[in-house]
Amino acid sequence: MTIVTTEKKLHPIKNLVLKNVVIRFAGDSGDGMQLTGERLAKLSAMMGNDVLTLADYPAEIRAPAGSLGGVSGYQMTIGSTDIYTTGDKIDILVAMNPAALKVNIGLMKKGGVVIINSSTFTKKNCLKAGYTENPLDGNDLCSYRMILVDISKLVKEALKNIALSNKEKERCKNFFSLGMICWLLNRKIHTTVNWIEKKFSKRRLIAEGNQKALKAGLKYCHSNEIFSTSFFINKKSSCNLEKGTYAYIDGNTATSWGLICAAYKAKKMLFFRIISNHTCH
């Protein structure tokens, strides 16, 4: 996290302008970390930043919930200059459970921000992640800026008037964490609110729950002042693109487009076969 300029104020510092920042969302494979990271990456790209991402999937055979083998992550570097790596060290980590913290804490920069879903740090979950005691109770994490938030409880409170089951409300916690990061990085959330509306158009209560969770995460940071600093990442300085329609693509899409283009120029037929559940279609 390279600091470019600092607004000189008395402590606490309110605003820092960053050249780039490395962020990682981590949790169980069912916690929606891939979706959350992808939304932040697309939102940042639309705001004029350069973004490079890396999705870290667990094994296809899902490991037990809360285990080290079941941790799913999504990392990205967001910057105002050309980005060529997703980052070796993490500036901001969102850890949804002890296993996510255990797997990723070694990748953190000293002084980095770690946002913890404190409700998951029970004795059982800590033991499952390989901790002999709750890591939040000792001094092993004193090198980092620990932000303990009972995300699960806050989400259920925010969604108490929506007719969703407790399990469905729990699944909205990834958008609460996204709301927190959007506040921390000064990201506008209206495009994500609209995306949720379209994504879950056939499941109105799920859409409403995710939208409220997103806004609740943003509001929580604003109301409780849990961060002494918020960050700004300027638009990419070389971003002098002409007006038009642009695409946000991942590696699979880029590879597919490259193959299509090569086949067209070579005047060759291109065959595509999908293999799913051991059946060819």
**What pLDDT was estimated at residue 164?**
93
Task: Work out the pLDDT band at 3, boundaries 50, 70, 90.
Answer: very low
Average pLDDT score over residue span 183-195: 94
Task: Work out the pLDDT band at 281, boundaries 50, 70, 90.
Answer: very low
Q: In the numeric block, which tokens belong to residue 45? A: 């790209």
- Whether the per-residue pLDDT at 17 is higher than 60: the answer is yes
Q: Tens digits of per-residue pLDDT, 257-275?
A: 999 999 999 999 888 776 6
> CA–CA separation, 61 vs 85, rounded Å?
29
pTM score, two decimals? 0.84
Lowest mean pLDDT among 35-39, 107-111, 112-116, 273-277: 273-277
> Sign of the CA dihedral 273, 274, 275, 277?
negative
Helices (H), the chain: 33-46, 98-104, 123-128, 151-158, 166-170, 173-184, 190-199, 204-224, 251-266
Contact of 54 with 86, CB cutoff 8 Å: yes
Task: Please check whether residue 217 lies inside any domain of the structure.
Answer: yes
Task: Please check whether residue 194 lies inside any domain of the structure.
Answer: yes
Closest by CA position to 221, among listed 182, 192, 187: 182
Q: Tens digits of per-residue pLDDT, 25-70?
A: 999 988 899 999 999 999 999 888 999 999 887 766 677 777 888 8
**What pLDDT was estimated at residue 1?**
58
Lowest mean pLDDT among 8-22, 84-98, 119-133, 185-199: 8-22
Place of tokens 């000293």: 110
**What pLDDT was estimated at residue 9?**
39
Q: How far is CA 148 from the centre of its chain?
A: 17
- Whether the per-residue pLDDT at 188 is higher than 60: the answer is yes
Contact of 170 with 155, CB cutoff 8 Å: yes
> CA–CA separation, 139 vs 155, rounded Å?
29
> CA–CA separation, 114 vs 276, rounded Å?
38
The letter for the amino acid at 23 is I
Instruction: Please give the torsion angle defined by the CA atoms of residues 221, 16, 175 and 236, in that order, rounded to the nearest 10 degrees.
Output: 160
Place of tokens 């037990």: 64
Average pLDDT score over residue span 92-103: 96
Task: Please check whether residue 268 lies inside any domain of the structure.
Answer: no
Closest by CA position to 77, among listed 19, 20, 4, 18: 20
Task: Work out the pLDDT band at 280, boundaries 50, 70, 90.
Answer: very low
Task: Please check whether residue 244 lies inside any domain of the structure.
Answer: no
Q: Quote the domain boundaries for residue 148.
A: 2-233
**What pLDDT was estimated at residue 187?**
93
Convert 52-73 to b/e letters by CB count within 10 Å (16 or more is b): bbebbebeeeeeeebbbebbbb
Task: Please check whether residue 273 lies inside any domain of the structure.
Answer: no
Task: Work out the pLDDT band at 7, boundaries 50, 70, 90.
Answer: very low
Q: Is 32 left (phi over 0), alpha (psi -120 to 50) or beta?
A: left
Half-sphere exposure of 131 (CA within 13 A, CB side): 24
Strand partners, 203: none
Average pLDDT score over residue span 191-197: 94
Q: What is the CATH number of the domain that holds 213?
A: 3.40.920.10
Arithmetic mean of pLDDT over the chain: 87
Q: Tens digits of per-residue pLDDT, 128-137?
A: 999 999 999 9
Task: Please check whether residue 259 lies inside any domain of the structure.
Answer: no
- Whether the per-residue pLDDT at 247 is higher than 90: the answer is no
Total count of domains within the chain: 1
3-state secondary structure at position 174 = helix
Secondary structure letter of residue 250 according to DSSP: -
Task: Please check whether residue 162 lies inside any domain of the structure.
Answer: yes
Task: Please check whether residue 175 lies inside any domain of the structure.
Answer: yes
> CA–CA separation, 33 vs 112, rounded Å?
20
